[in-house]
């Protein structure tokens, strides 16, 4: 394998999971009747694109399909998992005829629900040292939605939300607003709390209110929606209409702090549309001769590994990175011949050249929302002795990746590889712990030198200990800085926390 394009990343998709054994029989000393030849199981390639006639997804398939039965799609899943899943030895025994795998809604076959159950129940039951599932990441998704995600194009408002509980009540807080989006144009800001949508309260659990709220949050119809927002003790009414938008995944600036010139890079997703902005940012930092760099990955769920590689090369520079391994890609032992070393490269996903900064140490802002390709970026730099100091929280813990596979208009992502760095370090399935623990400060804009995580990074650059820096950051917050009391959980589907290889033709 020579590809170095990996994808380390709402909707109906979720979930998770996992590697077709083969045996070719041959006649022995007896007759063919006594020793019939064993039948070689069909491969996923042979079974591909034979689609249930009831499927509404087959028309979206990337390749020509033929009409078949639901059983044909389940056969493909079984072959695909056996061939490719990293934990193929641990796939549970699944009875394909179980009613869970032929779901009927009012007598109508639910193809999606049937296949989702079958795929989910095929994942490994293995757990990590702290008792969480090893495979929290494998998923299936409508291929059209997957392609939109990769293109950073989706229908929405353009904000990220965090959910938390305060005083027994659910709180939805705006964590980030993308530039040039309906939310930005409407004046929505980081730290705003969403109280209600179209009159339905966030804490009203009745069926009617829940449906109204969810339709407003993720609209299925084209219509304006009324948001009630709490900001600094005041209630605001904001009207927004979701649009098909392309998200800008990168922002950057240089902070002048005394004699220091600090580059600040906010990077939210390793997708193709981010590359031009990343190259602009790193070029600007080089022109400005920055002395230090902060890479804000607190909300970056991952993406193409080739982008993480090129960005890491840009940070480390030619002298440190050239000819060195960024990540060893390791498959299951049945695919060990496919293992390969991805060397550091100055060229990105589509051969765009990144500049070389040659930094010996950087600071990375991280949370539980920092996943996969973002973790590979950190781990890859540490593998060549570039110091990476993590400020914030423990990362999500995903050293795994996959090739996206379309079958009958559904994209499948069973984890099939694990990455380690040049020192063979990795296996951080319980996450990477920060050197300096700081909560996400939702009271201030990202990139503001007084924002909790960034202010701690700056003070660490100035020689303060972690406890000194974190103590100063916390005590400097005013009463509006409620975000420090509860970091909350990023409201993002699990399937957006991944790294993947570019699908083979």
Residue with tokens 């991952």: 302
Cβ–Cβ < 8 Å for 415, 400? yes
**Per-residue model confidence as pLDDT tens digits over 159-185:** 999 998 888 899 999 999 999 999 999
Confidence class of residue 30 from pLDDT cuts 50, 70 and 90?
Answer: very low
CB atoms within 10 A of CB 474: 16
Give me the pLDDT at residue 152, please.
62
What pLDDT was estimated at residue 9? 38
By the 10 Å C-beta count (0-12 exposed, 13-18 middle, 19+ buried), 98 is classed as exposed
Q: pLDDT band at residue 254, thresholds of 50, 70 and 90?
A: very high
Q: Which two tokens stand for residue 157?
A: 């408002």
Local confidence band at 37 (pLDDT 50, 70, 90 cut-offs) = low
pLDDT the model gives residue 306: 92
Q: What pLDDT does 34 receive?
A: 47
The tens digit of pLDDT for each residue in 197-230 reads 999 999 999 999 999 999 999 898 999 999 999 9
Helix axes 305-316, 373-382, angle to 10 degrees: 30
DSSP state string for 372-385: THHHHHHHHHHTTT
Q: What pLDDT is stored for residue 503 in this prediction?
A: 52
What pLDDT does residue 469 have? 87
Q: What's the predicted TM-score (pTM) here?
A: 0.81
Number of CB atoms found within 10 A of residue 484's CB: 16
pLDDT score recorded for residue 160: 92
Q: What are phi and psi of 496, to 5 degrees?
A: -85, 5
Q: Do the domains 250-500 and 156-246 match in fold?
A: no
Instruction: Classify residue 93 by its DSSP letter.
Output: P
- Pairwise pLDDT comparison (401 vs 124), residue with the higher score: 124
Q: Which is it for the CA torsion 411, 181, 375, 5, positive or negative?
A: positive
437's CB contacts (< 8 A; 6+ apart) are 392, 393, 470
Average pLDDT over every residue of 456-479: 73
pLDDT band at 477 (very low <50, low <70, confident <90, very high): very low
- What are the boundaries of each domain within the chain? 10-21+42-150, 156-246, 250-500
DSSP string covering 361-420, please? EEEEEE-TT--THHHHHHHHHHTTT-EEEEEES------EEB--EEETTEEEE---EEEE
Comparing 1-10, 104-113, 476-485, which segment has the lowest mean pLDDT?
476-485
pLDDT at 24 over 80: no
For 117-153, give the DSSP string: HHHHTTS---B-TTSSBS----EEEEHHHHHHHHTTE
Q: pLDDT tens digits, residue range 78-96?
A: 999 999 999 999 999 999 9
CATH code 3.90.226.10 for 250-500: yes
- Give percent above pLDDT 90 in the chain: 70
**Domain over 156-246 is classified CATH 1.20.1440.230:** no
Give the rounded distance of the alpha carbon of 467 from its chain centre.
Answer: 31
pLDDT tier, 474 (very low <50, low <70, confident <90, very high otherwise): very low
pLDDT of the residue at 145: 84
Q: What is the pLDDT of residues 130-157, one digit of tens each?
A: 888 889 889 999 998 888 777 766 788 9
**Is residue 248 over pLDDT 90?**
yes
CA distance 90 to 101: 20
What pLDDT is attached to residue 483? 31
- Which of 190, 87, 102 has its CA nearest to residue 418? 87
Calculate mean pLDDT across residues 458-471. Answer: 90
Predicted local distance difference test score (pLDDT) of residue 491: 58
Would you say 364 and 378 are in contact if contact means Cβ atoms under 8 Å apart?
Answer: yes
Asked if residues 135 and 85 have their Cβ atoms less than 8 Å apart, the reply is: no
Q: Per-residue confidence at 484, pLDDT binned at 50, 70, 90?
A: very low
């Amino acid at each position: 394998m020579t590809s170095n394009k990996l994808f380390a990343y709402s909707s109906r998709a979720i979930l998770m999971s996992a590697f077709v054994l083969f045996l070719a029989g041959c006649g022995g000393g007896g007759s063919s009747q006594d020793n019939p030849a064993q039948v070689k199981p069909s491969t996923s390639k042979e079974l591909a694109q034979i689609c249930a006639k009831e499927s509404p997804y087959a028309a979206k398939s990337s390749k020509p399909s033929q009409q078949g039965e639901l059983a044909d799609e389940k056969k493909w899943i079984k072959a695909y998992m056996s061939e490719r899943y990293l934990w193929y030895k641990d796939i549970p025994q699944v009875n394909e005829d179980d009613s869970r795998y032929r779901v009927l809604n009012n007598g109508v076959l639910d193809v999606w629900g049937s296949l989702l159950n079958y795929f989910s129940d095929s994942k490994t039951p293995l757990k990590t040292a702290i008792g969480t599932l090893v495979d929290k990441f494998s998923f299936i998704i409508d291929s059209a939605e997957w392609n939109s995600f990769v293109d950073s194009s989706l229908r929405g408002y353009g904000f990220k939300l965090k959910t938390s509980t305060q005083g027994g009540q659910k709180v939805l807080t705006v964590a980030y607003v993308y530039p040039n989006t309906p939310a930005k144009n409407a004046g929505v800001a980081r730290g705003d709390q969403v109280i209600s949508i179209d009159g339905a309260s966030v804490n009203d659990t009745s069926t009617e209110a829940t449906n109204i709220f969810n339709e407003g949050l993720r609209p299925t119809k084209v219509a304006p929606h009324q948001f009630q927002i709490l900001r600094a003790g005041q209630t605001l009414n904001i009207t927004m209409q979701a649009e098909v938008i392309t998200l800008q995944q990168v922002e950057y600036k240089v902070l002048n702090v005394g004699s220091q010139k600090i580059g600040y890079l906010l990077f939210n997703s390793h997708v193709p549309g981010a590359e031009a902005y990343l190259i602009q940012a790193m070029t600007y930092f080089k022109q400005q001769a920055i002395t230090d760099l902060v890479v804000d990955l607190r909300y970056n769920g991952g993406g193409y590994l080739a982008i993480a590689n090129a960005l890491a090369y840009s940070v480390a520079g030619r002298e440190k990175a050239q000819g060195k391994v960024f990540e060893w890609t390791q498959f299951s032992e049945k695919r060990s011949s496919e293992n390969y070393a991805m060397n550091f490269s100055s060229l990105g996903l589509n051969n765009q050249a990144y500049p070389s900064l040659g930094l010996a140490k950087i600071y990375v802002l991280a949370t539980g929302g920092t996943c996969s390709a973002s973790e590979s970026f950190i781990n890859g730099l540490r593998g060549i002795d570039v110091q990476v100091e993590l400020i914030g929280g423990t990362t999500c813990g995903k050293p795994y990746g996959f090739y996206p596979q379309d079958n009958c208009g559904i994209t499948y992502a069973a984890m099939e590889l694990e990455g380690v760095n040049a020192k063979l370090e990795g296996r951080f399935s319980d996450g990477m712990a920060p050197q300096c623990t700081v909560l996400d400060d939702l009271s201030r804009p990202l990139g503001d030198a007084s924002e909790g995580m960034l202010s701690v990074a700056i003070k660490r650059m100035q020689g303060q200990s972690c406890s000194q820096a974190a103590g100063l950051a916390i005590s400097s917050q005013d009463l509006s800085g409620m975000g420090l009391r509860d970091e909350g959980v990023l409201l993002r589907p699990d399937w957006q926390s991944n790294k993947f290889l570019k699908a083979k033709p």
